[in-house]
Amino acid sequence: MLSTILVPMDDSKHADHALEYALENFPEADVTVLHVVGVPSMMMGDAVGLTLEDNISEAAAERAEPVFDRAHDIADERDREIKTIVGIGHPARNIVDRADEYETVVLGSHGEDWDRATRRFLVGNVAETVLKRSPVPVTIVR
């Protein structure tokens, strides 16, 4: 039986499904939701926005709030508690760097609802990268 699970979440329905899957299929596990902000892009939009903030950690936590609110709602519906953490930078790198602190990673098959070609060009396919590089087992949920 798994005791610790990392569930990376963004603003996608696939991420919601991943959390639902983890909570329903691993009822005894401690679940931690990770949201990564400051995604690098060609225009460096969000990443540059964070660097202009007086307190980067506080700004990142503020940007993660809507995702964490949704995650808590999903957990509350299942009478479960979750932990939350904020990462800054590239999502796949953040997930892989933290993965060895958990027994498994459960993530959605696709990230934010961007055009697939744009997503692959700008940030790569996060799920594919995590699957290839994770030091622990990965479950990808559709």
CA distance 135 to 105: 10
Number of domains the chain is built from? 1
> Which two tokens mark 107?
């993530």
DSSP string, 55-98: -HHHHHHHHHHHHHHHHHHHHHHTT--EEEEEEES-HHHHHHHH
- CATH number, domain of 129, equals 3.40.50.620
> pLDDT exceeding 90 applies to what percent of the chain?
61
CA distance 75 to 78: 5
pLDDT of residue 7: 98
With beta carbons less than 8 A apart as the criterion, state whether 99 and 129 touch.
no
Q: Which residue has the tokens 């070609």?
A: 117
pLDDT at residue 81 tops 80: yes
With beta carbons less than 8 A apart as the criterion, state whether 1 and 30 touch.
no
Question: Could you give the strand order of the β-sheet that contains 104-108, starting from the edge strand earlier in sequence?
Answer: 82-88, 30-37, 4-8, 104-108, 138-141
What is the reported pTM?
0.84
Query: What confidence category does residue 142 fall into, taking pLDDT thresholds of 50, 70 and 90?
Result: confident
Q: 3-state class of 32 per DSSP?
A: strand
Structural domain including 45 reads 4-141
